[in-house]
């Protein structure tokens, strides 16, 4: 028979698990207790069970409307090969709102990093369409995405055929990368598991070439919630180790929802060659807060929280005469409400551009 002390320990442990589950999923402790109890109080299994809910129906109507012929002419066109494919993210016409680009493509890099909040099913199809609109406007070379779910990925694959999609997982929620096929060539990719994560987090890495330049792309969604600072710091150390140890003829770009607090970054410290892009570009106040419940009402939070959770780090190549990248511009995206009255995500996205330089340019 278990002692009173043992029973108390179990209760404390299960209460903590319920709190963690509720924090990750945005549910309450009652829902958390049901899922955890059904899965023998195994957090990973409980989270998988929660996120395995069939969300295809959220997008089903969207796809049906897009493919439904409106005229006889359209019916004929749909019979031709590839006509059912919709590419929202090809190079769009010039726009006064669109950031400047190298007209010849150059060897610079443009990037969007965004936690798209795929776990929130409310207006999910319209919000996914909102993301596509920003891809049309900015036509980034690379897109880092966090909090994806399988139906969201399938939706993007249908809409964004000019991009190669790399998934950081298959079940629950996960990260992903989109690489513009005309500009970025994938060499190889890998998923690095964080061994002590309780929230199914990992590091997605892709080695690519960009007009002859070698670039290592990395994205992650670091452990959430204030109480998981220790695990988050451990994950940041792994990210920085891999940035630091990359070959010196490779530029490394990391971006994602880090959930980091400045004190946590200070505790780890950035390697000498690694820079925080926001800091490097002058710490501009208008693009400081990527999580801002005062301005972003998607979560209907009864409190104000303003944090720089989403960050981009760069470690330029250092080998002599090798092409490298330097921070050029940063802006927040997703600041406009959609027709549904909500934003594309509860996070603002980050748009960054990097200019091409050479390692010896800095010495001149």
- What's the CATH code of the domain at 307? 3.60.10.10
Q: Grade residue 46 by pLDDT with cuts at 50, 70 and 90.
A: confident
Residue 265 located in a structural domain: yes
Question: Which tens digits make up the pLDDT trace of 54-69?
Answer: 455 566 655 555 555 5
- Same domain? For 181 and 317 the reply is yes
- Same domain? For 243 and 125 the reply is yes
Residue 95 located in a structural domain: no
Residue 295 located in a structural domain: yes
Question: Residue 257 catalytic?
Answer: yes
- Same domain? For 165 and 241 the reply is yes
- Same domain? For 42 and 165 the reply is no
Question: Which tens digits make up the pLDDT trace of 190-240?
Answer: 999 999 999 999 999 999 999 889 999 999 999 999 999 999 999 999 999
Task: Name every residue whose Cβ is closer than 8 Å to that of residue 208 and which is 6 or more positions away in sequence.
Answer: 179, 184, 185, 186, 187, 214, 215, 216, 217
- Same domain? For 135 and 32 the reply is no
Residue 335 located in a structural domain: yes
- Per the structure, the complete domain to which residue 342 belongs is given by 109-363
Residue 277 located in a structural domain: yes
Q: Which residues pair with 257 in a beta bridge?
A: 221, 310
Q: What is the pTM of this model?
A: 0.79
Question: Which tens digits make up the pLDDT trace of 315-339?
Answer: 999 999 888 899 999 999 999 999 9
- Same domain? For 47 and 138 the reply is no
Residue 65 located in a structural domain: no
Annotated active-site residue in 257, 292, 310, 346: 257
Helix axes 150-159, 124-138, angle to 10 degrees: 40
pLDDT of 72 reads 39
pLDDT of 22 reads 83
pLDDT of 24 reads 77
- Same domain? For 181 and 47 the reply is no
- Same domain? For 137 and 260 the reply is yes
The total domain count for the chain is 2
- Same domain? For 177 and 44 the reply is no
- Same domain? For 180 and 272 the reply is yes
Residue 56 located in a structural domain: no
Residue 73 located in a structural domain: no
- Same domain? For 26 and 168 the reply is no
Q: What's the CATH number where 16 sits?
A: 1.10.8
Burial 202-220 (b: 16+ CB within 10 A, else e): bbbbbbbebbebbbbbbbb
């Amino acid at each position: 028979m278990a002692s009173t002390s043992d029973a108390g320990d179990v209760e404390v442990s299960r209460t903590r698990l319920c709190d963690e589950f509720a924090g990750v999923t945005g549910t309450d402790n009652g829902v958390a207790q049901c899922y955890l109890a059904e899965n023998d109080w195994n957090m990973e299994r409980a989270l998988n069970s929660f996120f395995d809910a069939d969300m295809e129906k959220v997008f089903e109507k969207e796809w049906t409307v897009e493919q439904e012929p409106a005229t006889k002419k359209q019916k004929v066109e749909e019979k031709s090969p590839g006509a059912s494919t919709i590419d929202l993210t090809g190079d769009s016409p010039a726009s006064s709102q669109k950031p400047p680009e190298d007209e010849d493509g150059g060897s610079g890099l443009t990037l969007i990093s965004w936690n798209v909040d795929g776990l929130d099913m409310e207006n999910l199809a319209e919000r996914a369409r909102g993301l596509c609109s920003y891809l049309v406007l900015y036509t980034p070379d690379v897109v880092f995405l966090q909090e994806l779910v399988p139906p969201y990925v399938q939706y993007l694959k249908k809409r964004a055929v000019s991009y190669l999609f790399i998934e950081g997982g298959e079940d629950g929620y996960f990260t992903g990368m989109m690489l513009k096929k005309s500009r970025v060539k994938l060499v190889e990719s890998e998923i690095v598991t964080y061994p002590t994560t309780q929230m199914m987090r990992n590091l997605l890495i892709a080695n690519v070439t960009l007009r002859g330049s070698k670039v290592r792309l990395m994205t992650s969604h670091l452990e959430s919630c204030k109480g998981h600072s220790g695990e988050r710091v451990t994950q940041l150390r792994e990210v920085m180790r891999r940035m630091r140890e990359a070959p010196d003829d490779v530029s490394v770009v990391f971006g994602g929802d880090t959930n980091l607090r400045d004190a946590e970054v200070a505790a780890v410290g950035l390697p000498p060659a690694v820079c925080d892009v926001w800091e490097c570009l002058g710490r501009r106040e208008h693009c400081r807060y990527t999580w801002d419940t005062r301005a972003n009402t998607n979560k209907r939070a009864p409190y104000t929280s303003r944090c720089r959770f989403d960050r981009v780090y760069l470690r330029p190549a250092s080998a002599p005469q090798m092409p490298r990248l330097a921070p050029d511009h940063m802006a927040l995206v997703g600041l406009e409400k959609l027709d549904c009255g909500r934003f594309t995500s509860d996070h603002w996205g980050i748009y960054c551009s990097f200019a091409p330089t050479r390692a010896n340019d800095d010495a001149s």
